[in-house]
Amino acid sequence: MKTIRRIIFACITIWVLAVTVAPKYDKQINAIFEKVLGPYHHEDKDVNTEELSTWNDTENDITPAPKNSLEVTFIDVGQGDSILIEDAGKTMLIDTGYWDAYDTLKQTFSDKGIERIDALVLTHPDADHIGAAEDIITHYQVGMIYTSVADSDSKTYQYVQDAIELYNVPVNYPQAGDTMQLGNAVYEWLGPVNDVDDTNSMSLVLKVVNGNDSFLFTGDMTGKEMKDITGDMSADVLKAAHHGSANEGCNSSELFDRVKPEYAVISCGKGNRYGHPHKETMQEIKERGIKCFRTDEQGTISCTSTGNGIVWSVEPTTDYHNGSSEK
């Protein structure tokens, strides 16, 4: 009888301790268990949900593309930039052109069966780069926005900010040196390095490496920004900075020396009021024997990288005239 009473008393004591004391020392008890049994996975309430929402949430509804196949489309949006990357079923759109480029983007996505942009990169807040971003955010599922810390007091910028807030799109501000993966390729953010008071010099500069093939996307990067970049800028394909401008050290000899591109792509509008691309840029490209593509003369241009070579949708242009000269 005594033994039974002792057992009941012990059970009640354990139960009381479990209910009252254990929760207070939850962490300590877990630590003791971990020490004895080895670490186990905690349910971490502080987990960064933004990071988790980047690439993993569409894995089940994509058709896998051939391994290492990366398609880059330089969309003809007139004066401005908009570049679509399709990387093993994932999509990245670098800039959107002006607001009136939306119809062209919509048509491009529809032709390709794209309903979601996994990564929307807004290199800097100028209207020829973010103009159609409000419409993209409104009409497409956007996984993550990558953008420069530079802001603007323009209405266009405000509309984009409102759309980001309304549709609750996560925003990431990459730092120089950050890398990430989208599909198969590796994406490395090279710039901006310093925070300066000039939107062009705050352009996100992105290098994409797919096997042995590489691309450098420069936004409207100036010579000043380029000089601050310490990362490896060498690439097979250079998206010429600032629509082929030669002002502010854009597309200088130094840039071509550092990138050593085999191909250069210029995204600009035919007859644009800035005279893009400038004469000095075209001279550099011609003299160095770089194969050149330009949206003002050839419209939308695309290429496919196999990881071991790049195949283009059109022949390179032999037209090196600058934007302000008669042909």
Residues that bind Zn ion (CB under 5 A): 128, 220
CB 181 to Zn ion: min, Å: 28
Q: Which is nearer to Zn ion, 220 or 236 (CB)?
A: 220
CB 131 to Zn ion: min, Å: 10
Q: Which is nearer to Zn ion, 128 or 213 (CB)?
A: 128
CB 242 to Zn ion: min, Å: 6
CB 268 to Zn ion: min, Å: 9
Q: Which is nearer to Zn ion, 86 or 296 (CB)?
A: 296
Q: Which is nearer to Zn ion, 97 or 143 (CB)?
A: 97
Q: What is the DSSP string of 93-160?
A: EE---SGGGHHHHHHHHHHHT--EEEEEEE-SS-HHHHTTHHHHHHHSEEEEEEE-S----SHHHHHH
Q: Which is nearer to Zn ion, 83 or 185 (CB)?
A: 83
**Beta carbons within 8 Å of 138's beta carbon, 6+ residues apart:** 163, 167
In terms of residues, how long is the chain?
327
- Of 112, 10, 59, 72, the closest CA to residue 238 belongs to 72
CB 148 to Zn ion: min, Å: 13
Q: Tell me whether residue 15 is exposed, middle or buried, using C-beta atoms within 10 angstroms of its C-beta: 0 to 12, 13 to 18, 19 or more.
A: exposed
Q: Which is nearer to Zn ion, 68 or 96 (CB)?
A: 96
CB 200 to Zn ion: min, Å: 7
Euclidean distance between CA atoms 228 and 196, whole angstroms: 11
Euclidean distance between CA atoms 169 and 143, whole angstroms: 7
**Number of helical (H) and strand (E) elements in the chain, helices listed first:** 11, 15
Euclidean distance between CA atoms 72 and 91, whole angstroms: 10
CB 129 to Zn ion: min, Å: 6
Q: Which is nearer to Zn ion, 174 or 269 (CB)?
A: 269
Strand arrangement, sheet containing 237-239: 179-181, 186-191, 205-210, 213-217, 237-239, 263-266, 291-294
CB 274 to Zn ion: min, Å: 9
CB 73 to Zn ion: min, Å: 18
The answer to whether 140 and 115 have CB atoms below 8 angstroms apart is: yes
Q: Tell me whether residue 90 is exposed, middle or buried, using C-beta atoms within 10 angstroms of its C-beta: 0 to 12, 13 to 18, 19 or more.
A: buried
**Beta carbons within 8 Å of 37's beta carbon, 6+ residues apart:** none
Residue listed under structure tokens 């810390």: 149
**CB count in 10 Å sphere of residue 279:** 16
Q: Which is nearer to Zn ion, 245 or 304 (CB)?
A: 245
Euclidean distance between CA atoms 240 and 30, whole angstroms: 56
Q: Which is nearer to Zn ion, 71 or 151 (CB)?
A: 151
